Structure 1
Amino acid sequence: MTTPPELIDQIRGASRTMVRELGFMRATLAGTQYSPSAVHTLLEIEAHGALAAARLVQLLDLEKSSVSRMVAKLIKAGELEESAGVDGRVKRLQLTKQGKRTVAAIHVHSQQQVQLALKYLNPSQQQAVAQGLTVYAQSLHAHRTAADPTGSATIEICTGYRPGVVGRITEMHAAFYSRYSGFGQFFESRVASGLAEFVGRLDQPCNQIWLAIMNDRIVGSIAIDGQDMGDNQAHLRWFILDDGCRGSGVGRRLLAEAVAFSDRQGFDIIELSTFKGLDAARQLYESAGFVLSLEEQGSQWGSVVTEQQFTRRRANLR
């Protein structure tokens, strides 16, 4: 998947601003007399209890000689002390009482920085910042360590109603389709009203909704409505992912849950409606056995778009 150049430039610009505003351009960091690398050393040792210098090299992604010089300075300053490891050969670094006080002051300073910045954002924006930064940091780490970025984010798939589900799913739809199709208030209102009506029917065994949850926030959804189409057909509805989760494999997990549920319920057909041009979503549908069954111009959502219907027939998959 190719990332648009303008998106890359936007992220780079935001990253530069963050580096400056957080103080990483200065010689010292977080209200201390220490460099950014020294501050991170103290924080990592606090987080792990005690660390060997070799492990610090890995965590900080610094040269061994640089870490050795920095550790020596922190020991001399009274922030760190060395102790023998379990086998007596590898020395481990731990905070002194002074070091613990220094780290406590770092936490206070950093927490105040974040709190002062977040006061300019509403709760939804605050959650978006936390989610986006977490996923981006995990992706940067995955690239450096050649790890699988899809496995680093902790995203749980849950079923059923939870407080805020109607508003959050509506918000994700409105944000995405306003950009993609120019949809506005009419579309958002229809999504909200339809979803509100549906969650009132979740007590019926043929209906279910799945939610992708990250940091206690809904970042994806999909639903099977087993009642509104009749003729033993299931309607796949409200399949959406938050911007930061696309390409992570979460969509495939959600779709697999919905399809498996429909098969267990014995539905012969699953129908879904979407719009032309969403190629990544189309590939996902087709990989699950859906085929394009109808394509036509429509304006039922407030703007003229090419609407598509995909159908999955269970009999064709046997």
Structure 2
Amino acid sequence: MVPEDIDERIGIVRHFNRSFTRQIGVLREGLLHSPYTLTEARILFELAHRERTTASQLGRELGLDPGYLSRTLAQLEQRGLTEKRRSDSDGRQFLLALTENGREAALLLDQRSRDEVAEMLHGLSEGEQQRLLRAMQEIEGILTKGFKFSEPFVLRSHQPGDMGWVTHRHGVLYAQEYGWDERFEALVARIVADFVNNYDPNYEHCWIAEMQREIVGSVFLVRGGEGEGKLRLLLVEPSARGLGLGSHLVEACIRFARQHGYHKIQLWTNSVLLAARHIYQKAGFKLIAEEPHHSFGQDLVGETWELIL
């Protein structure tokens, strides 16, 4: 039962914060049994997943005070973990990057983090793991700022029954909105079957979006060629459109791809899908190929889009 008294509510939140930070060990002087503080580890992790960035961009991403960030970066540079170079396009800017030692440190931190989380999950039953993940995703969804949703939403991993929903809703919506026949539904069924049968959680993921416990969207990131991810089956229900959910799903794919070592993301779509094309363009994807084709009972123009990470 949720307490009515505001002081009691504040106490519950603070107790959760203390408990969780102890659980994941962020208050230890050396994060993940390393010589790095939490802030240093966050900086190394971010730089490991970026080509080049400025200190101001990094500060905005991590929400760090500029003075504190500057001092921390200076310490990392003195330790031979980071370097800065003048931008070729703008001589007033200095770009940050990891040195070889810095990349090795980031890889070690990433592996230790994965190992600690895996150990924590290993002690839980499948049901407990699912409850934990849903609760974490719900907390993140409620507290995430910058997305103008009229209702709280959560993104979660796929569960039994979700692949049937993805196939069904693609078939129904594309028939209603674009006149595509059942052969498109058959294509979606093959894609989700391949995903389930060949699923590699280290490199692939499915996000299911829920609002008010109702599924309202989906997207997949699957393994393509060497260092390449493929974004597939982006769908947002009409009831959830106009809220930024499509962009949020695409951004989840991009974050996952960067964190798991992909160098680029490709996707295939059709020129008539104007809303989806706008989302991809806004996220930084570039149109690299077009080809007319006759599919699903319609004359279409297929498009390949690419994002270099």
TM-score where L is the length of structure 1: 0.48
Which has the larger Rg? 1
